[in-house]
Structure 1
Amino acid sequence: MSASELLNENIKVLLSEIHQPYKISVDSPVDLFVDEKLAAHIKSGNQLNFIMTDNDFYLSVKGVEFNGEYFELRPAQDLSTIKINGGEYRGSLIILYEKNSLKIINRLSLQDYIKGVMTKEMPVGNGKDTYEALKAFSVCVRTYALMKMREQKDYFDVFIDVRDQVYGGVKAESKITNKIVDETENEIITFNGLPAIVFYHSTCGGRTENSINVFNTQNDLDYLSGIEDGNPPNCRISPRYQWSEVIPEKEFLRRLVKNNLIADTNYSIVEFRISERFQSGRIKNLLVILSDNSSNNIEIVIPGKSLRSVIRKADNSGILFSNNFEIKIDESRNVLLNGKGAGHGVGLCQWGSIALSKGGLKYDDILKHYFPGTEVIKFE
């Protein structure tokens, strides 16, 4: 399917994947369709009970059962949104049972999807001096979504969270970002006339990263190679341009155990060595030298691609904002981290684009800065 055709297709967002019976509270009138056929008009305040057994999948509403391959909730006549379980969504909701899980999917226009992503993924600010950055970002979001739609997954195109782009439905929309999305309708980033592969992140820390160092891209795309983001760096206005964190030694050792790098925590950290960095400053390999308290040292190598999954807090939440950091053990047996930037560093730097927008650069030039050799094209 061509880019122009895909831009007019609906996108499917996986909202939830559930492995047990599930209840949906309907907070607005909806029409229930079973296998594409209108089955019932459901009033606001009703509860939908989805039941899965070894041999059956059905919906129960006030004692009435509906059977089918899949169910779809559409806004009742004269309404444009669906309100369920405290959320509000445009388009329709598809509920199906496949591969031992209940899948709830929001099917909606690409434009409406982008409107639900903008404020969840990008600092909006006052909307004036960030205007061109927001326009650039809207084109980036659309291009990314198009890239995922072209993959043609079985049931959905994108996840609702950071596995793709964070999507918040109608409640995430704002007047200014909706206006911007409408202004850039059908505009995408292209390379040699074809939709580009794009990524974005919060703060590059001074230089963006080559995609091949982070993602399993088939080859090193020129427009996804690292670039210097200004001198001094544009993204120095970011609250994550520089950061520091502390991890107790024992907690760091527990993380190594959890990731099967050592058998137990009966070690002490001797030192850290960064054997190699990429040009951006991000760590390629981190060497951890441990002592078992009997004069025997062992060396653990943590690849850069694994750092953010290995080095985490006790509650398993993230602690590394980026892989560009210095690390050492102090006399109090704490691991000290001092870093720059936030995110994987590939593609568009959001805080850098905000600085460029404040400096008067137009959105298409911002995109050309972060994706050299590309062009923004509007498909009719």
Structure 2
Amino acid sequence: MGSKGVLIGIAGLLVVIVGIPALLVSFGASDGDGAGKMEMGLAGQSRLKVRVYLSKEKRVVGLPLESYIEGVVAAEMPAQFHPEALKAQALAARTYVVGRLLNKRVVDVKEWGPQAQGAHVTDTVQHQAFVTDAALREKWGYNYGNYKRRVAQAVRATAGQIITYQGKPIYAAFFSTSNGRTENSEDYFKEKYPYLRSVDSSWDQLSPKYIGRVSLKRGLFLKQLEDFTGKRLTEAAFETGGEKPFIVLSQTQGGRIDQIRIGGQVFKGREVREALNLPSSDFHLQLTDEQVIVTTKGYGHGVGMSQWGANLMAEQGKSVDEIIKHYYRGVEISRLDQ
């Protein structure tokens, strides 16, 4: 073989060497819904693409799955949190979006208008918060390099892994801080999930978001409740003939308000929380001459993994597996290629 033939042979060999990994990591999703066959590369990373609608920029971007997860973890959890907590957040975020795509539950993105066409998720809490790398550079400033590395390491350590129950991705709900326990899913949402059960998270008392307090003018308090629920309320609701104006009728297993009577009307705790934009549905109402003082415990809906709880568990030496299996009962951590 001459020198020209040797060069051709070497070039052909390089094509084969480069081409094999490319074939191994191919992803067979359709452009329509993104829920195709997920194949894994040698590094265990899916070639799935996630299309995200950036609500402020009003445009859709397509990202590799793991790049998307980095943006979610950075948006949803402080980068200073313990690495095991960051890993738990990465697992929850990846499980959520994979389950969403496999079940083809993407039609709600259409609510954002024609500019969101083709997106799988938004960058809002309607799905999962997400932040672009450019926004992170601005947000983190001189800490960008360190924080970026911490988040990337957590995502890379869990690459290609999701949380499953009986072989299927779970609804990986998470929130900031509990009131000391998490909620059964059906006590806040409609659906009952066997893995979203009320569990102890009493260490959340150390979270800076554990206690909240807000004061509302009496008229504004009643108006917001009425506007949100459609139930008629007037200042007479506070004139109860010597009875307490606020009576808790029942509580959930997680210690939040299930039903409460305000004046002559009965409300769900979730209704009051959302009407008044409260941090939690574990609240106490106190009436003064001018205002209603609302004291809350916890931050978020309370279902699934407490983010501050996960961080505090990690600081006590718990691993990501222990954190996940505490907040999501009876689950396994599985690989996408399984």
**Within the alignment, does 1:186 sit opposite 2:160 as a pair?**
yes
1:196 is aligned to 170
Distance across 1 between alignment mates of 2:231 and 2:90: 45
**Structure 2, unaligned runs of 5 or more:** 1-34, 41-45, 108-117, 137-146, 240-244
Choose between structure 1 and 2: higher helix proportion.
2
SS of 2:55's partner is strand
Distance across 2 between alignment mates of 1:333 and 1:168: 41
1:224 is aligned to 196
Deviations 1:253-282 (A, max 9, x none): 221342364557553523111111101111
Letter in 2 for 1:222: P
Question: Cα RMSD between the aligned structures?
Answer: 2.2
Is the 8 Å Cα contact of residues 288 and 300 (structure 1) preserved in structure 2?
Answer: yes
> Quick one: structure 1 residues 260 and 284, their matched pair in 2 at CA, closer, same or farther if it must change by over 3 Å?
closer
Distance across 2 between alignment mates of 1:183 and 1:190: 18
SS of 1:279's partner is coil
Deviations 1:18-61 (A, max 9, x none): xxxxxxxxxxxxxxxxxxxxxxxxxxxxxxxxxxxxxxxxxxxx
Distance across 1 between alignment mates of 2:96 and 2:231: 39
Is the 8 Å Cα contact of residues 248 and 334 (structure 1) preserved in structure 2?
Answer: yes
Q: Equivalent residues in 2 for 1:207-286 (5 A)? A: 207-217=181-191, 220-229=192-201, 233-259=202-228, 261=230, 265=234, 267=236, 269-270=238-239, 271-286=245-260
Distance across 2 between alignment mates of 1:353 and 1:237: 12
**Structure 1, unaligned runs of 5 or more:** 18-84, 86-102, 290-298, 312-317
Deviations 1:59-115 (A, max 9, x none): xxxxxxxxxxxxxxxxxxxxxxxxxx6xxxxxxxxxxxxxxxxx6211111111111
**Within the alignment, does 1:109 sit opposite 2:67 as a pair?**
no
Distance across 2 between alignment mates of 1:243 and 1:3: 45
Distance across 1 between alignment mates of 2:220 and 2:252: 28
Q: Equivalent residues in 2 for 1:43-62 (5 A)? A: none
1:309 Cα deviation after fit: 2.4
**Within the alignment, does 1:164 sit opposite 2:127 as a pair?**
yes
Choose between structure 1 and 2: higher strand proportion.
1
1:59 is aligned to none
Distance across 2 between alignment mates of 1:142 and 1:105: 19
1:122 is aligned to 77
1:203 Cα deviation after fit: 0.6
SS of 2:324's partner is helix
Aligned length in residues = 271
> Quick one: structure 1 residues 288 and 268, their matched pair in 2 at CA, closer, same or farther if it must change by over 3 Å?
closer
Distance across 2 between alignment mates of 1:199 and 1:3: 25
Letter in 2 for 1:113: Y
Is the 8 Å Cα contact of residues 321 and 342 (structure 1) preserved in structure 2?
Answer: yes
Letter in 2 for 1:142: R
**Within the alignment, does 1:335 sit opposite 2:335 as a pair?**
no
Distance across 1 between alignment mates of 2:150 and 2:86: 9
Is the 8 Å Cα contact of residues 223 and 371 (structure 1) preserved in structure 2?
Answer: yes
Distance across 2 between alignment mates of 1:3 and 1:115: 22
Distance across 2 between alignment mates of 1:337 and 1:249: 11
1:325 is aligned to 283
> Quick one: structure 1 residues 280 and 323, their matched pair in 2 at CA, closer, same or farther if it must change by over 3 Å?
same
- TM superposition score normalised by structure 2: 0.74
Deviations 1:146-184 (A, max 9, x none): 122224235322121111111111133712101211121
Which residue among 349, 355, 371 is the counterpart of 2:328? 371
Distance across 2 between alignment mates of 1:10 and 1:131: 25
Distance across 1 between alignment mates of 2:328 and 2:36: 22
Deviations 1:326-370 (A, max 9, x none): 11212x231121221000000001011111100111101110011
Is the 8 Å Cα contact of residues 256 and 282 (structure 2) preserved in structure 1?
Answer: yes
1:12 is aligned to 51
Distance across 2 between alignment mates of 1:284 and 1:274: 8
1:240 Cα deviation after fit: 1.4
Is the 8 Å Cα contact of residues 38 and 48 (structure 2) preserved in structure 1?
Answer: no
Which residue among 126, 136, 143 is the counterpart of 2:95? 143
Distance across 2 between alignment mates of 1:117 and 1:191: 23
Distance across 2 between alignment mates of 1:321 and 1:3: 39
Identity among equivalent positions (%) equals 30
Which of 1 and 2 has higher RCO (CA within 8 Å, sep 6+)?
Answer: 2
